[in-house]
């Protein structure tokens, strides 16, 4: 079954700093509407990190939130930049660059795949 046949929500965002807050607020509201708990706020933080990366490098951003099964939420951030995210580095002194390490630590799984118009970066996490 296609994941868009399950409960899902789509949000188009402009590549601006306010997009990160809008995405987080939307994730929280949609999960509440679906009566699903974002365990420890992980899904909000993952979404925040993925959208932050997208607004740095893309002009068009779409967030898709879905429920693949009874214990999982999935966020996908679609953008128009074909460059895949750089592998996380372990420079703990750097002022940035830890976002994908957080995504990896907080998600069940995550990845990136090309699309005809750019890429989609996705992550799955636990819900209750």
Q: Are the beta carbons of 118 and 82 closer than 8 angstroms?
A: yes
Q: Strand 61-69: give its sheet, edge to edge.
A: 8-13, 61-69, 72-79, 118-126, 109-115
Chain segment 34-84, per-residue pLDDT in tens:
999 998 899 999 999 999 999 998 999 999 999 999 899 999 999 999 988
End-to-end CA distance of the chain: 22
The architecture in CATH of the region 8-126 reads 2-Layer Sandwich (3.30)
Chain segment 12-21, per-residue pLDDT in tens:
999 898 999 9
């Amino acid at each position: 079954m296609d994941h868009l046949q399950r409960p899902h929500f789509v949000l188009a965002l402009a590549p601006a700093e306010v997009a990160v807050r809008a995405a987080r607020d939307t994730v929280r509201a949609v999960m509440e509407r679906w009566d699903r708990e974002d365990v420890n706020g992980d899904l909000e933080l993952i979404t925040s990190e993925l959208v932050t990366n997208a607004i740095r490098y893309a002009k068009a951003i779409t967030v898709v939130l879905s429920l693949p099964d009874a214990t999982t939420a999935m966020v996908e951030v679609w953008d128009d930049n074909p460059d895949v995210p750089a592998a996380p580095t372990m420079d703990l002194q750097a002022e940035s660059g830890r976002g994908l390490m957080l995504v990896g630590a907080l998600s069940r799984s995550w990845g990136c795949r090309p699309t005809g118009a750019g890429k989609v970066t996705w992550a799955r996490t636990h819900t209750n």
